[in-house]
Amino acid sequence: MSEQKTVYLADYRPYSHVVESVDLTFRLHPTATRVVARLSLRQNPARKDRDHLRLDGEGLKLISCKLDGQAITPAVDERSLTIAAHELPDGPFILETEVEIAPEANTALEGLYMSKGMYCTQCEAEGFRKITYYPDRPDVMSRFKVRIESDLPVLLSNGNPVASGEGWAEWDDPWPKPAYLFALVAGDLRAHSASFVTASGRPVDLNIWVRPGDEDRCAYAMDSLIRSMRWDEQVYGREYDLDVFNIVAVDDFNMGAMENKGLNIFNSRYVLASPETATDDDYYRIEAIIAHEYFHNWTGNRITCRDWFQLCLKEGLTVFRDHQFSADMRSAAVRRIEDVVTLRSRQFREDDGPLAHPVRPESFVEINNFYTATVYEKGAEVIGMLKSLVGDAGYKRALDLYFERHDGDAATIEDWLKVFEDATGRDLSQFKLWYSEAGTPRLKVEETWDNGVYTLTFTQKNPPTPGQPIKHPKVIPIKVGLLNPNGDEVVPTITLEMTRAKQSFRFEGLAARPVPSILRGFSAPVVLDRKAPPEERAFLLAHDTDAFNKWEAGRALAKEVMADIALKGAPVSPAWLDALAAVTFDDTLDPAFRALCLRLPGEDDIAQTIHAMGRIPDPAKIHAARREMTGALAIRLGEGLSRLYKDLDDNAPFSPSAAQAGRRALKIAALGLLSRRDGGKLAASAFARARSMTEEVGALSALLEVGQGQAELVSFAARWGRDANVMDKWHALQIAHAEPAEAAAVAARLIGAPGFDWKNPNRFRTVIGALAANHAGFHHRSGAGYRLVADWLLKLDPLNPQTAARVSTAFETWPRYDAARRKLARTELERILAAPDLSGDLREMAERMLAAG
Ligand SMILES: [Zn+2]
């Protein structure tokens, strides 16, 4: 591998040329596909100088090159094809190249590759350069026409179908787009079809293409697509703009899904669902990801990013939109809680370690390494704050202006903030720090009560992160409500706008000292540092009118209890047990909400909390503390648990609805606790009569957690052995429930089993991801967890560097542990770096992680 250079945002220059149109012809062949690209080019008037023409290209065999019909010999190296400025005509010209590529040998799954006999593409971020010579950057937008020649029956590309015959098909995309949105699929596929009529009356054919036999598992994805299309019309006024919308499910895929114009390509895991094979969580994810990719049609495709530093422009906004959609389709409170759990476990963790970077980074080596929780999840939170600050009406005006002003553009964060300034008259220069500074702000709270005047004083601390030692005070919208000691709300939710490092807010005319409910709805992605006695947390868990903060009170209490047990060997707090019991048996509360309250904080989350206290987390002690809490809870909830389980165990016909999913979640939580008491007897019978994958997995999980379930594992494998996506659950469960000392060995046995397809990204991520998520197992003092993950990263890297680099984030928290563990982790990271022919992707990650230690 040649050395890769660091790219800087500050170095941006427009491209030398404009690509008026692109005509592509593909003659598909597994080992020798020919790609003919005909580009209509002219000098870019935005550039004063007359520059050479440099096209990106990697791993291409150049067959021929013609400039205005004349054969030429351009300069070609490992990464590009260049024609000197003096060889270029003054006016517009046509450049035609023909290259040969080998899709079957493409194990990196970037560019054109094969998955079980089917051709497919993945071009974001820089995969198109592995297909043909082209200016592979998002600000070069052009109109694409595509001709595919192949014996395979289904031949798809972007845009609308224009003509087809025996062994060929032609597609035309009327909307100019960057190369990263190009897609091609060819295979023996079947369609699950439907139709849609847009608000202005345009009929659209909808197809979900899958392998033969999978057609009957597409109904939920199709229903989700139709609801997404309608929702985007109703909420954002955005209509679909082509005659067809195609989705293809692919088994070998590096990401979740890809929003290619008119031809979304999906990891099959996020398309296929039936009650027997998909859990409620799978259903939720399918709905959310279908919506996300569809919403990109406007936020990403019609308006794209000028350069990859602006990735959050399309991803932050589209994640924000898919969160809004899920909140409208399901319980908004439950969705908000789940989204914050994800944010904290992935993004706060990233922000707290060596890989911390701003929502809009200012440099990168490999852009694939910046498809991160910070860009996606924090990027969405930043938009949520913006919406709180300008209000719903201001947000709507700004978005309307954004679509009107920038349709067809490759835009920047500056463009995005400018529409908010112009639409609302607000100065957002301080707010912009959220895009440029990394790290999670910490918010300290002090209160005073004096003669009917209650004062809240906030102090924000913005911790240093790699490359950014000095930080500035941020604009933080803090939603606050006040409760009377009797539980009534005396001040309903208001938004306090904090702009300084330290700031006070006064509330007058109160009869009694109130109990504050701070950061309602998690109104900003910050850590709230506020000591509160357990009684106050229990009070808020019982009385807060804000569902998020109600849950948060219980969560904060559980975290304090767990940290106290792990650090001081404290007993399980009766106040926590009583408060949780009250919520668990409160039938007026949504079952999904009660299930969320029963889910204890993750061990990695507690390690992060302990680290933030300036202490060193001990994974073994945290693990033991969590077990102890679960055991004490099972005893405290007592016989009520059996009653609760029976009430929820009804015979209603299956529906993937949020309401039914919530009941199942609570039932499974109860079953897990009951297993602590009966050794898994009830869970064994629940497994035997499970009517959905949610129940099957829930029962199996309850059994494994109490050291049972071996027979059930065998029967599960016998039933689902041929469905790899379902078997991922089987693999993940065994590793998740393995004893810490055994976890690495269990993972090694599974991933090394004959016939296990570890080269498939879903399989690899499942096993290595499950081991990394088994906190006490991965960080076991033997070092076996670190060693196994490093071994397999090194094995995958030569084949698929992108997935290897992403999975390597398992190591991102290593500096927070004790010296012995740090030494073990450092040894593995150094071993990775010492590997010959290490990819640029994995090298960048290992170097960044090591730099922190
Ligand atoms: Zn996206």
Residue percentage of the chain with pLDDT more than 70:
100
pTM of the model: 0.98
* Cα angle, residue 504 at apex, residues 498 and 510 outer, rounded to 5°: 120
Give distance in angstroms: CA of 220 to centre of ligand 1: 20
User: Does pLDDT of 430 surpass 50?
Assistant: yes
What letter represents residue 626's amino acid? R
- Told to judge if 293 belongs to the known catalytic residues of this protein, a careful annotator would answer yes
* Mean pLDDT in residue range 761-779: 98
Q: Which of 124, 170, 293, 315 is catalytic?
A: 293
Looking at residue 255, what is its pLDDT? 94
Residue at token pair 């992160």 = 465
Residue 511 half-sphere exposure, CB side, CA atoms within 13 Å? Answer: 7
- The better pLDDT of the pair 764, 3 is held by 764
Give distance in angstroms: CA of 298 to centre of ligand 1: 11
Give distance in angstroms: CA of 292 to centre of ligand 1: 6
Number of H helices, E strands in the chain: 28, 31
Q: φ, ψ for residue 77 (rounded to 5)?
A: -130, -170
* Mean pLDDT in residue range 54-80: 98
Smallest Cα–Cα separation from 136: which of 61, 43, 39, 65? 39
| CB contact at 8 A, 453 and 511 | no
Give distance in angstroms: CA of 124 to centre of ligand 1: 10
- Angle, helix 743-751 to helix 784-796, in steps of 10 degrees: 20
Q: In angstroms, rounded to a whole number, what is the distance separating the alpha carbons of residues 183 and 550?
A: 46
Give distance in angstroms: CA of 389 to centre of ligand 1: 25
Average pLDDT, the chain: 97
Token pair listed for 829? 């990271």
User: Does pLDDT of 270 surpass 80?
Assistant: yes
Phi-psi region of 848 (alpha: psi -120 to 50; beta: other; left: phi over 0): alpha
Give distance in angstroms: CA of 328 to centre of ligand 1: 19
Give how far Cα 602 sits from Cα of 639, 662, 672, 821, Å. 26, 20, 16, 20
Q: In angstroms, rounded to a whole number, what is the distance separating the alpha carbons of residues 768 and 791?
A: 11
Give distance in angstroms: CA of 293 to centre of ligand 1: 6
Q: In angstroms, rounded to a whole number, what is the distance separating the alpha carbons of residues 58 and 78?
A: 6
Token pair listed for 774? 């088994």
| CB contact at 8 A, 583 and 597 | yes
pLDDT tier at 79 (50, 70, 90 boundaries)?
very high
Smallest Cα–Cα separation from 109: which of 5, 251, 305? 251
* Cα angle, residue 307 at apex, residues 292 and 464 outer, rounded to 5°: 85
Residues ≥6 apart with Cβ < 8 Å to 618? 566, 818
User: Does pLDDT of 2 surpass 50?
Assistant: no
pLDDT tier at 1 (50, 70, 90 boundaries)?
very low
How many CB atoms are closer than 10 A to CB 161? 17
297-338 per-position pLDDT tens digit? 999 999 999 999 999 999 999 999 999 999 999 999 999 999
Residue at token pair 């640029």 = 840
698-730 burial, b if ≥16 CB within 10 A, otherwise e?
bbbbbbbbbebbeebbeebeeebeeebbbbbbb
Q: In angstroms, rounded to a whole number, what is the distance separating the alpha carbons of residues 362 and 412?
A: 13
679-692 per-position pLDDT tens digit? 999 999 999 999 99
Give distance in angstroms: CA of 291 to centre of ligand 1: 10
Q: In angstroms, rounded to a whole number, what is the distance separating the alpha carbons of residues 523 and 448?
A: 23
Give distance in angstroms: CA of 410 to centre of ligand 1: 16
Instruction: Write out the H or E segment, with its range, that includes residue 461.
Output: strand 453-461
Give distance in angstroms: CA of 122 to centre of ligand 1: 13
Give distance in angstroms: CA of 283 to centre of ligand 1: 18
- CB-neighbour burial class of residue 367 (10 A; exposed 0-12, middle 13-18, buried 19+): middle
91-117 per-position pLDDT tens digit? 999 999 999 999 999 999 999 999 999
Give distance in angstroms: CA of 255 to centre of ligand 1: 10
**Rg (alpha carbons) of the chain, rounded to whole number:** 28
Smallest Cα–Cα separation from 623: which of 762, 789, 774, 761? 774
pLDDT tier at 604 (50, 70, 90 boundaries)?
very high
Q: In angstroms, rounded to a whole number, what is the distance separating the alpha carbons of residues 28 and 723?
A: 29
